[in-house]
Structure 1
Amino acid sequence: MITDILQTVEWSRAQFALTAMYHWCFVPLTLGLLVLIAVMESMWYRTGDARWLRTTKFWMRLFGVNFAVGVATGLVLEFEFGTNWSNYSHFVGDIFGAPLAIEGIVAFFLETTFLAVMFFGWDRVSRGAHLTATWLTAVGAAVSALWILVANAWMQYPAGCTFDPEHVRFEMTSFTDVLFSPVAINKFTHTLLSSFALAAVFVTGVSAWYLLRGRERDMARRSIALASAFGFAAAVLTATTGDRSGAVVARVQPMKLAAMEALYDGRTEAPLTVFGLLKPASRLAPGEKPYRFGFEVPGLLSAMSFRDTKAYVPGINDLLAGNAARGLLSAAEKMRRGREAVAVLARYRDARRAGDGAELARLGALFDPATPDGRAFLDEYFAYLGYGYLRSEQELVPCVPLVFYAFRVMVGVGVLLLLFFAAVWHLNRRDRLARHRWLLRTAVAAVPLTYLASQAGWVVAEVGRQPWAIQNLMPVRVGVTDVPPTSVGVTFGLFVALFTLLLAAELCIMFRQIERGPDGPEKD
């Protein structure tokens, strides 16, 4: 039975990861390309230049292909919370469901309503009304992303909630705390800005393809001028929010930070490893560096995490064994407290079944933050509820090599994009970009590389927080639906086939549209 549950957990994790990663192939381009299209249409509205209209309609056509497939994968993703993660959905549905409901009822319908005007209203509404619809579509897409990211951020930093022992579920106490938690705000801004950068790379890469073939030179240069400036600004702001994200993670998810840096032993003046080749963790001696070779910047990790080069950054071993001098509880102690919280819940359930009113009142008071006993229990025991379901301390350590390398792919590509956008903008402004064919080829190659970096960012965020479905409160294996593993395995295979077919169809249609080019005669 235990083996079956573990298999169900692994299949469910794999299926959700598959759906999320396929879905994320389409979301960033939707968010960023909409803004670029709105700016292009604004240029046409302001100047009356028909070349801007032609350019706008071309990129809008590519956006439409991407958007249609993205919606299909997104719907599947939301349904999986009910089919594969029903225990999770029951436990936190009152909180997690609220932003998803707002996204579906308000943001998505706002987006799709104005999307219809954007695509089919060219000859039916005025120029100003059409431009307004385009901008509102872009706003709707961003607002839609906001609510989804707020829900995801709550899983990584549960805030604004209280626990109801009678129904064994969390309830929202402050919508403001959920919406404006430091994790939610940073996750939204960082994700949105990185999506802008990806869309700018896409527009630049497709435009570079036209320049390599001597086609659509006017449209390509216009698009590159706009996309490179937009992309550079987005890349700079993405780096800024990324720096803030590191500081937030250091405070609320220290194990994730330790995995990102393969930091096993905590240090003051902790260095940031720019790159390195990791050794197997099982072969590391105490105090030994975790990589075969690497380049470190002394004190930088401490500075980025706590804004102090001399600050102490805990490592994986500190978080497992504890460090009394630094105020760190050991994993064993957290597991002991978590089991006590689980035991209190079990006694509450038994008292309820037996109709023991006195015991119910006594135990119920432990979940009331307005009483001294309640505050003490919630802070000292219930805060570690999820640890009570763990079998070993090692479950708390995510896959260090995967998180370590994914983080460096994400950051490395981000740094290269700054140089890339600056070079492309400068040469395009001087009308010399077409002469540098190596840079045009680099622009085309940068498109899949940026998608890889975007996926790597989500690997860092999601793999780095394992084993938690809800940080410190619910391990992934507790939130899974109790269904036969074969059922999830079969649907996993079906989703692989379906999503691969959708992706192949999207790429095929996209390539054909790019080969076809804008409608109407070329204007150079």
Structure 2
Amino acid sequence: MLENIDLTLVNWSRAQFALTAMFHWLFVPLTLGLGFIVAFMESIYVRTGDLEWKRITKFWMKLFGINFAIGVATGIILEFEFGTNWSNYSWFVGDIFGAPLAIEGIMAFFLESTFIAVMFFGWGKVSKKFHLVATWLTAIGANLSALWILVANAWMQNPVGMKFNPETARNEMVNFWDVFLSETAVNKFLHTTTSGYVLASIFVVGISSWFLLKKRHILFAKRSIVIASVFGIISSAMLIGTGDGSAREIARNQPMKFAAMESLMEGQTQAPLIAVGLFGKAPDDPLNKDSESDFLVKIEIPNMLSYMAFLKVDAFVPGIKDLVLGNEVRNIMSYKEKIRRGYEAQQTLKAFKESKNSDPEEYARLKAKFNDKEWVDNYFRYFGYGNYYDPDPEQLELNAFKIVPPISMSFYAFHIMVGLGMHFLLLFVVLLWLTARNKIEDKKVVLYTALWTIPLAYVASQAGWIVAEVGRQPWVIQDLMPTMSAVSKIDSTSVMITFWLFTITFVGLAIAEVKIMTKQIKNGPKEGGDK
């Protein structure tokens, strides 16, 4: 079945979507966090009447607006790609994926677009309190927008609250709350948004540190550092908590991703967590079932992986080979068996379609299977594995090893994300402590560190999405639809052309953002709070 797939089309479609998503995510996290930081600053201004706080608010609000405008442009392109490049996916997910995106457009986007005008142009035209409300609602609207998009993405990672309709070959939502409040959705929303809050905090302290290094706007910079550091410390604590919850959720629902994150080839009890690791040779050949991880450097924390996954230091954590080859002792089904069951589910659907006009009794019998919970749980849940079926037993085993994500990329992305997260928390604490003791201006090393941590915050943010998306490959919908089956049947040349056109467009937008932002930062806040 794999030989019928146009891998050139699949790879270019994946590259185009990844390009769009990664550029879009350059702008989104700053919007999520900076909106709340600005709202906190304006709240202090309204409460105290101190015009310096108004000046601070208006400066950061201006940078928020620049970033928001460019982020919207890339987001619109991203949603259109579902219809142009991923039409098979769009059909298969039925109303499940579309509903959250529709709610995002109707509810969150209109909330943002309504109040952002008051936020930017309402100074002196509406009361202070109404303007403050508009600022808060803009920040909340941006986060609500992220909520619905992340709910949709979470369903792809853990498809729940739905039922497959064999007559239309679509998944249909049967319980909105199961989709909206799934453990994957809750953890993904909280972890992703708090990562945006941390990035925005890093952005504010980094720019403020630059002002201190230039000995400009000292009071402005110190106050900004205090607000952003406090917000960053709280957000970092939340990020650690939500990351812990996300790890356990992944261990339960996406065990292969969890194993790839730690390059765990053989399952272990009392499994250690690799705190620092550098591959000598990464086990990235999925066709070589005897491959092993070879580390040049490895620092482990005993028992921590078992505890992180199942809150027990002696818990068994399945490795990549356990999941692919199966483990009867641990009651882990092999990928070969899942492929066979998925193939049977696909053949059942095919026979159901063929019997519609020729054999009413067979049609009714097969339809009943898709309503039989036991059959659905034991066969249809592996529907996507059927795409890897091959009657040749040797080829079937090779295909089973193809259902393994890129291990080294997943491993490094995960550890870079975690390591940088610890650095951010430490930086916030140091900055807040030095500012409170009025010693921050003399600590040039700390100030330069804060400034150059800004790009690291973006690296960590992108690494988190690499873990989430690369780590679940080859699935576009976990266990139900592989990426290769989701693409539109279009000419791969058109995808290549649009890929390069999008690359030029997005690079241009990124350069424009950096130039505009840099100019506004160099100009600094206007003197006088009412100007």
* TM bracket, shorter-chain basis: over 0.9
User: Within 1, Cα distance between the matches of 2:382 and 2:482?
Assistant: 11
Matched with 1:371 is none
C-alpha displacement of 1:501: 0.2
Whichever residue aligns with residue 428 of structure 1, its letter is T
Match of 1:357 among 342, 356, 360: 360
Give secondary structure in 1 for the equivalent of 2:312.
coil
Matched with 2:315 is 311
Q: Is the 8 A contact 1:216 1:522 kept in 2?
A: no
Q: Is the 8 A contact 1:118 1:134 kept in 2?
A: yes
User: Within 2, Cα distance between the matches of 1:61 and 1:356?
Assistant: 67
In the alignment, structure 1 residue 88 sits paired with structure 2 residue 89: yes
Q: Is the 8 A contact 1:263 1:290 kept in 2?
A: no
Matched with 2:466 is 459
C-alpha displacement of 1:62: 0.5
Matched with 2:11 is 10
Matched with 2:327 is 323
Give secondary structure in 2 for the equivalent of 1:325.
coil
Match of 1:491 among 489, 495, 498: 498
Q: How does 1:89-488 map to 2 (within 5 A)?
A: 89-278=90-279, 279-281=281-283, 290-352=294-356, 354-368=357-371, 374-390=372-388, 392-488=399-495
User: Within 2, Cα distance between the matches of 1:462 and 1:63?
Assistant: 27
Q: Runs of 5+ in structure 1 lacking a partner? A: 369-373
Q: Is the 8 A contact 2:16 2:499 kept in 1?
A: yes
Q: Is the 8 A contact 1:5 1:482 kept in 2?
A: no
User: Within 2, Cα distance between the matches of 1:311 and 1:288?
Assistant: 22
User: Within 2, Cα distance between the matches of 1:522 and 1:182?
Assistant: 45
In the alignment, structure 1 residue 41 sits paired with structure 2 residue 48: no
Structure 1 pair 496–164 and aligned structure 2 pair: CA distance change class (3 A)? same
Matched with 2:513 is 506
Q: Is the 8 A contact 2:282 2:292 kept in 1?
A: no
C-alpha displacement of 1:229: 0.9
User: Within 2, Cα distance between the matches of 1:227 and 1:412?
Assistant: 20
Q: Is the 8 A contact 1:4 1:485 kept in 2?
A: no
Q: Runs of 5+ in structure 2 lacking a partner? A: 390-398
Structure 1 pair 364–282 and aligned structure 2 pair: CA distance change class (3 A)? closer
TM-score by length of 2: 0.95
Whichever residue aligns with residue 446 of structure 1, its letter is T
C-alpha displacement of 1:355: 4.1
Q: Is the 8 A contact 1:206 1:444 kept in 2?
A: yes
Give secondary structure in 1 for the equivalent of 2:355.
helix
Give secondary structure in 2 for the equivalent of 1:466.
coil
Whichever residue aligns with residue 204 of structure 1, its letter is V
User: Within 2, Cα distance between the matches of 1:408 and 1:495?
Assistant: 30
TM-score by length of 1: 0.97
Structure 1 pair 327–3 and aligned structure 2 pair: CA distance change class (3 A)? closer
User: Within 2, Cα distance between the matches of 1:231 and 1:202?
Assistant: 10
User: Within 2, Cα distance between the matches of 1:174 and 1:285?
Assistant: 40
- Over residues 65-86 of structure 1, what are the superposed CA-to-partner deviations in whole Å (9 max), with x where a residue is unaligned? 1001000000000000000000
Structure 1 residue ranges, 4+ long, deviating more than 4 angstroms after superposition: 1-4, 282-289
C-alpha displacement of 1:519: 1.6
User: Within 1, Cα distance between the matches of 2:421 and 2:11?
Assistant: 32
Q: Is the 8 A contact 1:4 1:484 kept in 2?
A: no
User: Within 1, Cα distance between the matches of 2:18 and 2:292?
Assistant: 33
C-alpha displacement of 1:124: 1.6
CA RMSD of aligned residues (A): 1.6
Matched with 2:30 is 29
User: Within 1, Cα distance between the matches of 2:458 and 2:524?
Assistant: 23
Give secondary structure in 1 for the equivalent of 2:124.
coil
